[in-house]
Amino acid sequence: MFRGPTCWWSEDGYFAGFEGCYGCCPLNCTHVWNYAQSHARLFPEVGRNLRVSNFISYLHPDGETSHREHTPHGAFADGHCAVIVAALREHQLSPDEKFLKQVWPGLKKATDWMIEKYDADHDGVPAGQQWNTYDTAVTGANTFIGSQYLAALAAAEKLALVMKDAEAASRWRAVREAGMKNQNAKLWNGEYYIQIPETPPGRDYNNGCASDQLLGQWWAHQIGLGYLYPPERVRKATDAIMRYNFREKFAGFKQDPRRYIPDDEGGLLICTWPHNDRPKPFMLYSDEVWTGIEYSTAGLMVFEGKIESARRIVKMARSRYDGRKRDGLNSGPGGNPFNELECGKFYARALSSWSLLIASQGQVLDGPKGVLGFKPRWQPTDHRSFFTAPEGWGLFIQKHEGNLQHERIELRHGKLRLQELVFEIPSTAKEPTAKISVGSRTLPASLKRDGTEVRLVLAETAHVTEGQTVEVALRW
């Protein structure tokens, strides 16, 4: 995709991405690139470049972001939240604090603008018109925007602490904690999270089951922000999304206003109304299927341990791009394994697929602090996966046999600076010990346990070079 017409990088250093190509929209659209993960994980410099555009080059004087670049644009609610959350990802994928110090003044201003624009009473619940990636505005209390708002507050708070801005961190924490309580109390219907619209209404979903209802939770899991809502409700909501929104075939169903799936294939709808109470007008594109949302929703399911549901969604999505040509589709033809369709070809939202890897391997990362770890959810007793870090990439392997858990971090390219390693052991493990080595060199470390999490704090910073392997033996 980076080699194709969706993206370009100018000689003066500006990185730009369309939503897709051949008939799609410019440029660095925050509410579409909100979902994208692959670019920043594979090429951290690209992620940082985009945040410089958000918080320096195209930031409005009052802190409002531009949802598109190179022409005057205001913020979309989801995109504005997204660039704040993504700034934490970019910081974690940096080797030091240089990037954060560069964007911090704009990021702080953008966070305060977000609160005053969407949450003037500071109760942590979005209000008013909230323009978003469905090219319309939802109104009032909802977790589609609300979860992203909470994630943005949590990310900004964490970055404020890095910057030693305790006053900002405290203010944002108070709003976030109020929102976690109030959104959960107001918007849970017993099965999933709903919306309470305002008058006059927008293009709302009301009692609908939106696949994006926990998009902020998906983000939060990827960058170590923890739960925004009670874990049992998050899991219950993912079950509802699977139950109501996934279809094995679309024969007899009208995809509207655009059609991306042949009738004899299936996918995950954007929103459904299980109780037949669809509002008028309703959220645009609800009757469509976008792979970018399929992957993000499946990624959340992996984080929640719903491996089989995630597998069904991803298997169906990828089967639609198996190399067989499919005519009669919008932005089509479809079927090219490298060209996932939405409003254009080679669509950027599909880069959300990388979250499936992060969820499966449970990566823990803080580049500036030298923290790297893994808590696999997929095959934890015999796990192998590719990983990326701020200045290198490699292979992570975990094997579990009896009272021994063996970890291997094979650095295939670049370098790693390590100060702390993080893993997960069974809850039944008693008095764990750890031995860490790089080649013939043993690395002394202290072990800190919190439930099933084990943190190994190295006595001295380890500098791992290309071709070296970090090995850890955990016994109990």
Residue of 334, 350, 122, 373 lying closest to 224 (CA atoms): 373
The Cα–Cα gap between 306 and 377 comes to: 10
The Cα–Cα gap between 91 and 121 comes to: 30
The Cα–Cα gap between 145 and 129 comes to: 11
Helix 166-187 × helix 143-162 angle, to 10°:
160
Q: Strands 382-389 and 445-450, how do they pair?
A: unpaired
Residue type, 93: L
Q: Strands 433-438 and 404-424, how do they pair?
A: unpaired
Is 195 within 8 Å of 206 (Cβ atoms)? yes
The Cα–Cα gap between 282 and 305 comes to: 32
Evaluate the omega torsion of the peptide bond into residue 337 and state whether it is cis, within 30 degrees of 0. Answer: no
Residue of 440, 432, 429 lying closest to 456 (CA atoms): 432
Residue with tokens 């499966």: 360
Query: In sequence order, what DSSP letters do the residues of 166-226 get, joined into one string?
Result: HHHHHHHHHHHHHHHHHHHHHHB-SSSB--B--SS--SB-TT-EETTTTHHHHHHHHTT--
Which residues neighbour 371 within 8 Å (Cβ) at sequence distance 6 or greater? 364, 365, 419, 420, 421, 422
What φ, ψ does residue 55 adopt, rounded to 5°?
Answer: -105, -5
Q: What does the CA dihedral 406, 411, 416, 422 come to, rounded to 10 degrees?
A: -20
Is 20 within 8 Å of 6 (Cβ atoms)? yes
* Residue ranges of domains in the chain: 7-360, 363-475
The total number of residues shown for the chain amounts to 476
pLDDT of residue 22: 84
Residue of 410, 331, 458, 302 lying closest to 6 (CA atoms): 331
Residue with tokens 């200045």: 391
Is 471 within 8 Å of 406 (Cβ atoms)? yes
pLDDT of residue 97: 99
pLDDT of residue 23: 65
DSSP 141: B
What is the CA 161 to chain-centroid distance, rounded? 22
Which residues neighbour 228 within 8 Å (Cβ) at sequence distance 6 or greater? 147, 150, 151, 154, 180, 216, 217, 220
pLDDT of residue 70: 86
What is the full per-residue pLDDT of the chain (476 aa) written as tens digits?
Answer: 767 889 999 999 999 999 999 868 999 999 999 999 999 999 999 999 999 999 999 999 999 999 999 888 999 999 999 999 999 999 999 999 999 999 999 999 999 999 999 999 999 999 999 999 999 999 999 999 999 999 999 999 999 999 999 999 999 999 999 999 999 999 999 999 999 999 999 999 999 999 999 999 999 999 999 999 999 999 999 999 999 999 999 999 999 999 999 999 999 999 999 999 999 999 999 999 999 999 999 999 999 999 999 999 999 999 999 999 999 999 999 999 999 999 999 999 999 999 999 999 999 999 999 999 999 999 999 999 999 999 999 999 999 999 999 999 999 999 999 999 999 999 999 999 999 999 999 999 999 999 999 999 999 999 999 999 999 999 99
Is 344 within 8 Å of 19 (Cβ atoms)? yes
pLDDT of residue 157: 99
For 7-360, give the CATH class: mainly alpha
pLDDT of residue 72: 84
SS3 call for 83: helix
pLDDT of residue 344: 94
DSSP 57: I
The Cα–Cα gap between 386 and 295 comes to: 18
Residue of 162, 169, 130, 165 lying closest to 147 (CA atoms): 130
Query: Can you name the CATH fold of 363-475?
Result: Maltose phosphorylase, domain 3 (2.60.420)
- Put simply, whether the predicted model's pTM sits higher than 0.95 gets the answer yes
